[in-house]
Amino acid sequence: MNKFTIISGKTSEVLAKKLAEKLGANLLKTQLRVFEDGESKITIKGRLEKNKIIVIQSTYPPVDENLIQLLSIISKAKEIGTEVITVIPYMGYARQDKEFLPGEIITMKVIANLLKSVGTSKIIVVDIHSAIGLNYFNIKIQNVSAIPDLAKYFLKIKLKNPLVVSPDQGGKHRAKEFAKFLKTDFISLVKIRNRRTGKVEIKYTKFNEIIGRDLILVDDMISTGGSIIKATKFLKKQKCNRIFVACTHALLGNSAEKKIKKAGVTKIISTITIPGKTSIVDVSDVIVKAIL
């Protein structure tokens, strides 16, 4: 009998297959039917055994639908398995980790309670948007980094005096880690966002650090691409060379990829936490280490 059984939700089938191969685990897929009223009916294809079960499902859009499916799969796995480890490569709602304005609900706290209630004993996430969200979990949760794997990809590209750039101060540590792997330096732009209007301004003054260099804009996720587009236009004015974008989670809603490239980005590189055209970098190794 295999030590692990992996149940793959519909959002993470590629990553689930890679994990199964590396763990020598039995892989069970799920069959999904969505009714006209929006309800999901999930059937696990194959026989569940009394061993450790790994459930893997990203909760990217439609977030609520994929979250309910994840909770349902965990609940079924708990009925039979000796332990349920949940891998959520992309954790939806991670941006709602505190009460920014009076009356706002901290949805990340709600999600944490739901995941515990259905029976998971450990959760593994990849580059969660905010570490604050981890504090709401009363079960084991491990946040692993895709930065080493993303950086390795760029080591294969011939770059002209590369400079790693964080589009805001919040990503400063991420850019620093990325730059360390490339053995180069980094900068962080100052992004000022009006929380009521959503309008963003970028400020930076050390322009000599940018001129003529290939830039790698590093972020944990790209949703609509607004911040990346703003940063790209700003950096292009400073006479840089090519601009690449590296991110863990490429949501790329509202034609974001097209808009980002139109702004002047040469290429967007993301991981397979969310499947898509830019999803090139494999993060299964770091997830396997967390499981074992």
Q: Which has the closest alpha carbon to 91: 11, 211, 151, 205?
A: 11
Say if residue 268 is in the same domain as residue 205.
yes
Is 70 part of any domain? yes
Give pairs for 270-273: CB < 8 Å, separation 24+: 270/222, 270/246, 271/89, 271/126, 271/146, 271/149, 271/150, 271/247, 272/14, 272/15, 272/18, 272/89, 273/15, 273/58, 273/89, 273/90, 273/126, 273/127, 273/146, 273/248, 273/249
pLDDT of residue 21: 96
Structure tokens at 291: 């499981």
Measured in whole angstroms, how far is the alpha carbon of residue 229 from the centre of its chain? Answer: 19
Say if residue 156 is in the same domain as residue 131.
no
* Average pLDDT score over residue span 254-266: 96
Say if residue 170 is in the same domain as residue 141.
no
Say if residue 167 is in the same domain as residue 44.
no
CATH number of the domain to which 98 belongs: 3.40.50.2020
DSSP state of 134: G
At 202, the pLDDT band (50, 70, 90 cuts) reads: confident
- How do residues 229-254 score in pLDDT, each as one tens digit? 999 999 999 999 999 999 999 999 99
- The answer to whether the CB of 165 falls within 8 A of the CB of 216 is yes
Number of domains composing the chain: 2
- How do residues 72-108 score in pLDDT, each as one tens digit? 999 999 999 999 999 999 999 999 999 988 999 999 9
Say if residue 64 is in the same domain as residue 158.
no
Say if residue 218 is in the same domain as residue 187.
yes
* Average pLDDT score over residue span 113-141: 95
At 207, the pLDDT band (50, 70, 90 cuts) reads: confident
Say if residue 8 is in the same domain as residue 119.
yes
CA-based max dimension of the chain: 62
The pTM of the full predicted model, rounded to 2 decimals, is 0.93
Is 135 part of any domain? yes
Query: Which domain, by its residues, includes 16?
Result: 4-145+282-291
3-state helix, strand, coil in the chain (%, to 5): 35, 30, 35
Is 277 part of any domain? no
Say if residue 23 is in the same domain as residue 118.
yes
- The answer to whether the CB of 113 falls within 8 A of the CB of 141 is no
- How do residues 132-179 score in pLDDT, each as one tens digit? 999 999 999 999 999 999 999 999 999 999 999 999 888 999 999 999
Say if residue 75 is in the same domain as residue 156.
no
Is 259 part of any domain? yes
Catalytically active residues are: 191
pLDDT of residue 151: 97
Higher pLDDT, 237 or 191: 237
Say if residue 136 is in the same domain as residue 49.
yes
Is 200 part of any domain? yes
Q: Is the pLDDT of residue 205 over 70?
A: no
